[in-house]
């Protein structure tokens, strides 16, 4: 076998077969070498002081003895040194040390000393080699024992993790003190009422059982992100004086087969021991997806976990006194067996808050903030349609940050308006200098605002600005007067015309060769709205036929023929062309007004909606009557 093959095999060898003591053997060998060095110098550290004077040689010592300069000599046979005291040195000075090498020199030296009547003393150094060797061995043994204990503890911890691998990771509290109650939840009164009934059932179950009612097994919270589903669960935990388990759906799923099902069993086992209790599963769509639609087949780990969850919620044994509350923003992907009564008896819709709901949410989040007296929460609620509870909380938080940055004592409407702009469009950028690009952007934004204002059914203008935010160089915002539940065909056409106003203004003012890429996002929205009108809302000559839906797989083949597909494209183009003609008519009829509005916008950089409508009424050139039209085809 070649060296290259041996090297390859050694590199691919499993780390389990490598000796774990190879490195420790080298380390122990090094310690033994240090020990031998320490033993070889038994009195090391005792006589390591350097003499103050220069050392004299052995021959010089003999001459000094003969000349009578030496008064006393002390010989250390172990260190092979002689400590010499001279007659002319002071008492505080240390004796001179003279190296001697063998016993022959010792006999010669002693003879010389006796012949000259000089006192001599033989004093060997203490032998500390045994003590040093014992201490060194104890240190080595202590280190080895520490390493052994660390290895044993690590292996015990690993085995403990392996034993608890299938146990539930749910956070358990006998009385969950989240600091949140139903008083802190606003804007979702219907959902709060449903869940208050669940809490009452847990606290006073005899009220319902006396007339034959049974406790609901599960409540599914369904709604868009940020509408307050998890906040509701925290409020339930704060209100109900019962044990509370909380876990995320993703914590059931592991790469090892059977672990998710084992954790489900362990979770419900703990819940049965503490019944009556609540189990909250956040993002249940991570584990509750429809079975049989994945590529893993029937033995998929996710499906096994879901099967175990279905059995625990409504199986042979049943779970008395356990209420499962789950939250998801994707109910369409959940398995049908999970949604049926007996498992999730109730589905509570947590939708976007209406005007009163937004006002209540703002009141809740404004409690712990210093808000100026002139701030109207009603005005903020009217300006924020479509905002979720999380968005409104973020608005007030951004307003508080602006207030602190500007060193003000309380939040004013200026900070709140800036916070809404930042949440909607992003961080404010550097204003553009007065140039051709700035004037072109101004015409684009005035085109949006003018066409939207003069189109019947369009939302009123909230603000027109040339201050960049995010990736947009300029912005025009429209805010509805009321929350729309349904949208008419006339309103959809007006929205498409308003979106086309910017591109049409560029073409009318600067010509087709000078149009920019600024309308890219507008064209995407226009195409989407027009296609929705044709394929979903039945607002085209194709009739009342649903050809597409929001849940269609983008990679799936359409369920209609190629002829229908071409007709859909023709109808979409027809709607867009119709709205384009209407926008072009408005721009051309109000050409002089547009120039004046652009000059004002460039000078002020921002025009509020009310000011914009007042300018339209005050300008000397009247608005053409033909431009105020109804966009009904």
Which residues have C-beta within 8 Å of that of residue 515, sequence separation ≥ 6? 503, 506, 507
**What is the rounded CA–CA span in Å between residue 568 and residue 543?**
11
Pick the closest to residue 399 from 385, 476, 383 (CA basis).
Answer: 383
> Per-residue b/e over 301-334, b at no fewer than 16 CB within 10 Å?
bbbbbbbbbbebbbeeeebeebbbbbbbeebeeb
Q: How many helices (H) and strands (E) does the chain have?
A: 21, 13
DSSP 501-554: HHHHHHHHHH-GGG--GGGHHHHHHHHHHHHHHHHTS--STT-S-----TT--T
DSSP 207-220: HHHTTT----SEEE
Question: Does the active-site annotation cover 445?
Answer: yes
Considering the candidates 239, 415, 445, 571, report the single residue annotated as catalytic. Answer: 445
- Using an 8 Å Cβ cutoff, are 247 and 277 in contact? no
- Say which DSSP state 18 is in: S
Report CA-CA distances (Å) from 208 to 195, 202, 211, 214, 490: 15, 10, 6, 7, 50
Which residues have C-beta within 8 Å of that of residue 84, sequence separation ≥ 6? 56, 61, 64, 70, 72, 73, 95, 96, 97, 98
- Using an 8 Å Cβ cutoff, are 441 and 474 in contact? yes
Quickly tell me which residue has 């109650």 as its tokens: 181
What positions carry a catalytic annotation?
Answer: 445
């Amino acid at each position: 076998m070649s060296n290259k093959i041996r090297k390859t095999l050694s590199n691919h060898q499993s780390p389990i077969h490598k000796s774990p003591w190879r490195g420790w053997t080298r380390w122990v060998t090094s310690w033994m070498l240090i020990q031998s060095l320490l033993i070889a110098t038994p009195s090391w550290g005792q006589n390591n002081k350097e003499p103050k004077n220069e050392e004299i040689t052995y021959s010089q010592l003999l001459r000094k003895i003969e000349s009578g300069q030496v008064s006393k000599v002390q010989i250390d046979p172990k260190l092979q040194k002689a400590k010499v005291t001279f007659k002319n040195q002071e008492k505080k000075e240390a004796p001179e040390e003279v190296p001697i090498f063998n016993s022959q020199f010792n006999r010669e030296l002693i003879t010389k000393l006796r012949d000259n009547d000089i006192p001599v003393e033989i004093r060997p150094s203490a032998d500390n080699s045994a003590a040093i060797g014992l201490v060194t061995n104890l240190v080595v043994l202590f280190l080895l024992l520490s390493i052994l204990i660390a290895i044993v503890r690590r292996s015990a911890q690993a085995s403990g993790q392996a034993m608890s691998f299938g146990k539930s990771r749910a956070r358990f509290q006998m009385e969950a003190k989240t600091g949140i109650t139903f008083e802190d939840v606003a804007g979702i009164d219907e959902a709060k009422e449903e869940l208050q009934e669940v809490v009452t059932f847990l606290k006073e179950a005899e009220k319902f059982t006396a007339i034959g009612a049974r406790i609901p097994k599960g409540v599914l919270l369904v709604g868009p992100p940020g509408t307050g589903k998890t906040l509701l669960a925290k409020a339930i935990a704060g209100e109900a004086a019962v044990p509370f388990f909380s876990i995320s759906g993703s914590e059931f799923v592991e790469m090892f087969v059977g672990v998710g099902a084992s954790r489900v069993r362990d979770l419900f086992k703990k819940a049965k021991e503490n019944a009556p209790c609540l189990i909250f599963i956040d993002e249940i769509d991570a584990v509750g997806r429809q079975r049989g639609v994945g590529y893993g087949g029937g033995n998929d780990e996710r499906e096994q976990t879901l099967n175990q969850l279905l059995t625990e919620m409504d199986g042979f044994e049943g779970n008395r006194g356990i209420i499962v509350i789950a939250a998801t923003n994707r109910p369409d992907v959940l398995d049908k067996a999970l949604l049926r009564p007996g498992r999730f008896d109730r589905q509570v819709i947590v939708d976007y808050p209406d005007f009163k709901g937004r006002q209540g949410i703002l009141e809740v989040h404004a409690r712990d903030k210093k808000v100026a007296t002139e701030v109207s929460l009603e005005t903020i609620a009217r300006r924020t349609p479509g905002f979720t509870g999380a968005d409104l909380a973020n608005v007030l938080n951004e307003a508080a940050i602006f207030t602190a940055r500007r060193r003000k004592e309380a939040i004013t409407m200026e900070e709140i308006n800036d916070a809404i702009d930042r949440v909607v469009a992003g961080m404010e950028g550097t204003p553009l200098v007065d140039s051709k690009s700035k004037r072109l952007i101004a015409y684009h934004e005035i085109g949006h605002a003018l066409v939207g204002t003069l189109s019947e059914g369009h939302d009123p203008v909230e603000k027109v600005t040339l201050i960049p935010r995010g990736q947009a160089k300029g912005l025009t915002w429209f805010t509805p007067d009321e929350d729309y539940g349904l949208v008419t065909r006339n309103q959809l056409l007006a929205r498409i015309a308003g979106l086309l106003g910017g591109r049409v203004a560029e073409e009318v003012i600067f010509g087709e060769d000078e149009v920019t890429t600024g309308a890219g996002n507008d064209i995407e929205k226009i195409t989407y709205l027009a296609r929705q009108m044709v394929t979903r809302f039945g607002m085209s000559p194709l009739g009342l036929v649903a050809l597409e839906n929001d849940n269609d797989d983008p990679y799936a083949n359409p369920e209609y023929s190629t002829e229908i597909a071409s007709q859909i494209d023709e109808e979409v183009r027809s709607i867009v062309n119709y709205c384009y003609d209407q926008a072009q008519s408005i721009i051309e009829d109000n050409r002089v007004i547009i120039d004046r509005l652009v000059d004002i916008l460039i000078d002020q950089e921002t025009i509020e909606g009310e000011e914009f409508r007042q300018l339209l009424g005050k300008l000397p050139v009247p608005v053409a009557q033909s431009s105020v039209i109804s966009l009904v085809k």
